[in-house]
Chain A
């Protein structure tokens, strides 16, 4: 039966935001931890480790997020793990996020002048100390704007998990559209919700970027 787009339907879509936000946050946290590990491996002194990390980044950036989702969805169940779709979705998004964040952070670490390594080494710091106390604080500052910018991509990317029936905002929109058949208004609302999350983040990213530029010029 065709029903109008009422308050119930709108609340259903808005309520589904919690899964969009949960998935984005989970994938950014898990993917962030993994990505940080890969970034460190990517700048390691061991050539084998560097190649392995570069291969991982190239692999993740060379395939669609949708394929990662399907591989996680079917692969995990083959491995005997009967996980709910939400878990497969979070894991695949985390893989996706890790490949991109690793590359962004690799760039940030490498853009810290190498003299910083030399100078701190001459003070007798171990390589771990050099990284922790000298290079990392500078790299974090460089990495912040592009990381926030990428978080926008991570939020938008959660939309694809609607295909494994995780009822986040996009799936909620599809379900409501199936009963109301008001695609323009339903998907317009869905787009508006994404925009409300992503736009402030984009603005923050460009503001951070400008502030960083000013500091550099000083």
Chain B
């Protein structure tokens, strides 16, 4: 019997899918903001913290980068309660995304900071800028401008990675897909629909980050294209 596509039953569950999209967007936005914040903080702290602390931070980054997101999620969601810290699925998801992205973002931003020539900092100081001003205007913002393309790729990966949160029953877009699938028995149509939505979301996120980059780093844009990111 040839297979006939039927998207009708899937479209009838549009509200479930819309809820999933909303949760995916929320998870991604909160996770990206927290992860970026953590990355900036850890990249900044390099050279300012005592050596043993730096070793711990480096170990954290290596552990995160060399283990799957899924297992990190399981350790935080199933493992932490054993230690007495009980989180609901949503909190565990946000926390895992933050720690995961934080490690990658630290590495990316660190590379950007390393690319700032020390003479730039001296030049800033000679213009009577305070340390904070030097850090913000001479080091951080130009560094972020240079690595913005790499950060953009990482943010898109993070957004796509939120799909794994459905493993701990977070009803984001893939979670809602599983729901629709079990209600309609139209598995293939459901996953095609949701895949297309993910594709649109990642295109929209790329566009938004491109515009945000242009707005945040107006003068850096030419340099950014020349120097490029990691990829």
Contacts and interface: CB of A to CB of B under 8 A. Distances in A.
Contacts of A173: 71, 74
Interface string A159-184: 11011000000100110010000111
A159 B195 contact: no
Interface stretch (B29-37, B38-46, B75-83): B75-83
Nearest to B77: A183
A202 B66 contact: yes
A66 B192 contact: no
B199 A63 contact: yes
Nearest to A70: B191
Interface stretch (B121-129, B134-142, B157-165, B219-227): B157-165
Interface centre among B67, B78, B156, B166 (most CB of A within 10 A): B67
A163 B175 CA distance: 12
A146 to B, nearest CB: 8
B167 A163 contact: yes
Given A160-B70, A198-B66, A191 B75 contact: yes
Contact of A64 (B66, B160, B231): B160
Contact of A187 (B65, B75, B161, B192): B75
Contacts of B72: 191
Contacts of A174: 74
Interface in A161-218: 162-163, 170, 173-174, 177, 182-184, 187-188, 190-191, 194-195, 198-199, 202
Interface string A101-137: 0011001000000000000000000000000000000
A6 interface: no
Q: A interface, by DSSP: helix, strand, loop or mixed?
A: helix
Interface string B178-190: 0000000001100
Contact of B174 (A66, A107, A162): A66
A16 B156 CA distance: 31
Contact of B67 (A182, A184, A191): A191
B194 interface: yes
B163 to A, nearest CB: 4
Contacts of A183: 74-75, 78-79, 81-82
Contacts, number: 114
A159 B71 contact: yes
B166 to A, nearest CB: 8
A62 B75 contact: no
A152 interface: yes
A45 interface: no
A63 B65 contact: no
B68 interface: yes
Contact of A66 (B156, B164, B202): B164
Nearest to B159: A64
B62 interface: yes
A162 B161 contact: no
Contact of A78 (B62, B67, B188): B188
Given A63-B198, A71-B191, A71-B195, A159 B3 contact: no
Contacts of B11: none
A104 to B, nearest CB: 8
What are the 3 closest A-B residue pairs judged by CB atoms, nearest first?
Answer: A183-B78, A198-B66, A159-B68
Interface of B: 3, 62-63, 65-72, 74-75, 78-83, 156, 160-161, 163-164, 166-167, 174, 177, 187-188, 191-192, 194-195, 198-199, 202-203, 231
26 contacts: A64-B161, A64-B198, A66-B174, A67-B174, A67-B194, A67-B195, A70-B187, A74-B188, A78-B188, A157-B68, A159-B70, A159-B71, A170-B70, A173-B74, A174-B74, A183-B74, A183-B75, A183-B78, A183-B82, A184-B75, A190-B71, A191-B71, A194-B66, A195-B63, A195-B66, A199-B66
